[in-house]
């Protein structure tokens, strides 16, 4: 293990065996030091307080969409997105040894996996009960078995907490259930192309405001890979626009587009330029 690896501590939301920890081990390598956190906000606080050097933050899922709280925290804290990681999420139905599928009446997990498996749960007529974490639900069920109860979690959680896998790959669209994570930290990422850039902006209240902001990129043939609006907390009917584009902010065309955007928008916050992740089950960055 290199000195850099031994000194790196990556915070994540949940307990050991969570999907976020699986993403950490894929991205940084097995044996990476990890720090479980109860909430997404605790990830940011751990970095700010020096308990962790990085955070692994889920920002969107291919089936259930954006994790809104993650983007709100990226606005609230002045950290940088250093990388993205795509995790192929495989949902497994876990229960204490001896439990049969026909015994199940209720299933516990984090709201995201429950949403990713909503059709499957409805088909079986099982009650979905939200828990703060997938692996935490698995640990709690192992420690305090409840009759007629199962959880949705990873196979790693099954092994860690001694649960049996009753059914595998129960997500509604198997093979298409990917979660995108941001690796966050205090500093800018070292450039490695192909790059992607994420930012947030707000509009001036005038006609064609959004048209002019997006035109800054269209005029320079910069490809946008995501744009989404979210309400600005405390300012009713006003919105943040989250935008990703291909390329690094230091590229000449991107620099010119950002200068133009600064003129057109009321507020712009750069989240970071970072190596783009390639698609596929491993979600490895190039």
Catalytic residues: 179, 181
| Sheet with 106-109, edge to edge strand ranges | 127-130, 106-109, 149-153, 92-95, 164-167
Nearest partner of 78 among 270, 223, 281, judged by Cα = 270
Structure tokens at 17: 């065996």
Q: Where are the alpha helices (DSSP H) in the chain?
A: 3-7, 19-28, 40-48, 68-76, 111-116, 118-124, 134-143, 155-161, 209-218, 252-264
Distance CA(125)–CA(105), nearest Å, equals: 8
Pair 35, 11: CB distance under 8 Å: yes
Structure tokens at 28: 């940084």
Distance CA(126)–CA(149), nearest Å, equals: 10
């Amino acid at each position: 293990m290199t000195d850099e690896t031994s000194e790196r501590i990556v915070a994540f939301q949940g307990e050991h065996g969570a999907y976020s920890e699986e993403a950490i081990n894929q991205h940084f390598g097995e044996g990476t030091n990890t720090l479980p956190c109860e909430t997404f906000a605790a990830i940011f606080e751990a970095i700010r307080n020096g308990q962790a050097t990085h955070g692994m933050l889920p920002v969107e899922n291919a089936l259930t969409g954006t994790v809104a709280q993650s983007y709100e925290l990226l606005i609230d804290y002045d950290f940088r997105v250093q990388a993205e990681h795509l995790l192929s999420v495989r949902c497994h139905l876990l229960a204490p040894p001896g439990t049969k599928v026909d015994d199940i009446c209720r299933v516990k997990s984090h709201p995201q996996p429950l949403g990713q498996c909503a059709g499957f749960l409805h088909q079986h007529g099982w009650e979905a009960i939200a828990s703060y974490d997938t692996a935490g639900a698995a640990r709690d069920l192992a420690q305090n078995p409840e009759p007629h109860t199962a959880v949705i979690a990873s196979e790693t959680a099954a092994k860690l907490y001694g649960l049996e896998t009753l059914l595998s790959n129960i997500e509604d669209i198997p093979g298409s259930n990917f979660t995108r994570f941001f690796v966050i930290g205090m500093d800018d990422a070292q450039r490695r192309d192909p790059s992607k850039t994420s930012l947030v902006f707000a509009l001036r209240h005038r006609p064609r405001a959004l048209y002019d902001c997006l035109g800054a990129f269209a005029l320079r043939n910069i490809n946008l890979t995501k744009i989404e609006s979210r309400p600005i907390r405390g300012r009713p009917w006003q919105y943040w626009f989250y935008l990703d584009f291909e390329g690094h902010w230091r590229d000449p065309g991107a620099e010119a587009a950002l200068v133009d955007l600064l003129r057109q928008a009321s507020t712009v916050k750069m989240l970071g330029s970072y190596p783009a992740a390639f698609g596929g089950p491993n979600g490895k960055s190039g």
